[in-house]
Each structure stands twice: as C-alpha cells, then as structure tokens.
Structure 1
Amino acid sequence: MSAPTIYVDADACPVKDEILRVGERYGLAVVLVSNGGIRPSRDPMVRVVTVPQGADAADDWIVEHCQPNDVVVTADVPLASRSVSVGAHVLGPTGREYTPQSMGMALAMRDLKQHLRETGEIKGYNPSFSGKDRSAFLVALDRVVQRAIRTKQG
C-alpha cells in the first residue's frame, strides 16, 4: 500500500509550516488546496492545488481526492465530516481530532453557534490562535500521521 497523503484546507490555515515539517519528517506528500495566494513549493513532496473561486470548491476537491487513512487538516466542520465519512484521519488546526464518534456533536455545535450568531445572542469572534494551540496541533498531527502510516502498512 502507498503512504498516506496529508491534504490541507489551506485558505487561512495557521499551521501550514508545521504540516510541511511533519510531512518532510515522515516523507509524506502534502497537498495544499486553496482558492489562490499560495506560492508553489520547490519541495517535490509538496503540491499546491488552486481551485476555482466558490464556496466549497476546495472542500469538494479534497473529498474527491482523499482516500481512507489519508490525513486531512481543516477548521471547516462540514469538510471534516465529509472527510471522516471517506475514512480519512481529520484534525483541526488546534489539534482537535474529528472521528466518526465525535462528528455528530461537532456538527450540532457548529449549527448551534451559527444560529446564536445569526440571532445576535453571541458575537462572531473566534478565540485567537495561540502557541498552545500550535503545540497541541503538532502533537496531534504526529500521533495521527503515525497511526495513518501503521494502518496503511497493516
């Protein structure tokens, strides 16, 4: 079996550099998918895919190309759900792992927060991304990549 690939929902992803380092450490291909604005990489293991403008163009591309046991990094809960359903290992940029068991609650919380923002009950501010988030992500990505490699080999 081939090694897992890391797919990144790269628009506004705060952990691209960390993903590239982990991909290099394990010799894995990394695919950065965005609507534009990401420079091509000289690293042959890094591919930059620019999709047409559109609400879900990057999400659709990732779901069409990822395979079971690949790794997907996204802050987008619906994309996480779609990727989990394909059998991918999915992480948010803060290190939160999305699994078949956690997706229902993640989607429900996303919908609730969206409703509360729309009705003015809460403000639309997300907490700022911290060094602690970055560290948690690196630990989680390393763990998930090792699991994906073991699963692909087994």
Structure 2
Amino acid sequence: MHIWVDADACPKVIRDILFRAAERTQTPLTMVANHPLPLPGSTLIKQLQVPQGFDVADDEIVSRIAPGELLITADIPLAAEALEKGALVISPRGEKFEPGTIRAKLTMRDFMDTLRSSGIQTGGPPTLSAADRQAFANQLDQLLR
C-alpha cells in the first residue's frame, strides 16, 4: 500500500498522525502540495511539489494513484476520481468515502457551491476537534492493518 495526501489543505495535526503511522507500519507516504512542507527525516515520507494552479495537485494524484492505495483528502471531487480508480479514501476527519455514497456527496457539494455563488452564507466546516482527530487515527489504523 501507498498513502497519498492532498497536502495543501491537510491540517498539521493530521500530517503528524500520518507521519507516525507511516513509520510504524513501514508504509510509503507521499505528500502532494504546491508549496514546500516540513517533513520528518524518513526514507518512507516524500513530498511531490507541483506547480501552482487550479486542481494541479489533484490531477497529479489521480494520475499516480493505483487500486488499493490510500488517499487522504477532504476534496470530494478528488475523492470520487480516486474511488473510480479503485483507491481507498478517507477525509482528515476520519470519514471513509465509499463508491456507493460519493455521488450524493458530490451533489450536496455542488448544491452548497451554488448557494455560496448566489450570495448565501453557508459557513465553513467546523474546527477539527479531538474527536475528529481520533476518528481519523482509528480509520487510518483500520485501513493500514
């Protein structure tokens, strides 16, 4: 297995959990971002820096991810593309994306985007909580077993 991380928006606390899990399980991990990230000194953990631009990191991940590999992202369209390629996908909040429910999530995302573009305030996601961090760590451990 290989872990891919949509790292531009991945919270630092989640990156730290990922770094520890990669070392503990000896699983290669690639952080994909359009800016340099601080990484621990490990042969298992690498960064793939991509140019700035809309969906450049997402497109790079989709082009490289293989069936059975794991993607960490909160980006629902990216999650849908990775699922289509046979990858496993979880969000930084520990939500496991599934092929059977991703279309409904895409529809809701598009609906909320339409509301925002018409001027309706929808608010952003809540702050990452301790329960979210624990849910992520639990889901990650389960998938790496």
Higher RCO (C-alpha 8 Å, min separation 6): 1
Settle same-fold status: TM greater than 0.5.
Answer: yes
Root-mean-square deviation (Å): 1.2
The aligned runs of 1:5-154 (5 Å cut-off) are 5-14=2-11, 15-146=14-145
**Normalization by structure 2: what TM-score?**
0.93
- In 1, the alpha carbon distance for the partners of 2:29 and 2:71 equals 10
- Structure 2: 5+ residue runs without aligned partners? none
- In 2, the alpha carbon distance for the partners of 1:39 and 1:121 equals 37
Aligned positions, number: 143
Residue 121 of structure 1 and its aligned partner are, at CA, apart by 3.0
* Runs of 4+ residues over 6 Å off in structure 1: none
**Normalization by structure 1: what TM-score?**
0.88
User: In structure 1, what residue type is equivalent to 2:127?
Assistant: S
- Structure 1: 5+ residue runs without aligned partners? 147-154
Residue 40 of structure 1 and its aligned partner are, at CA, apart by 4.6
Residue 93 of structure 1 and its aligned partner are, at CA, apart by 0.5
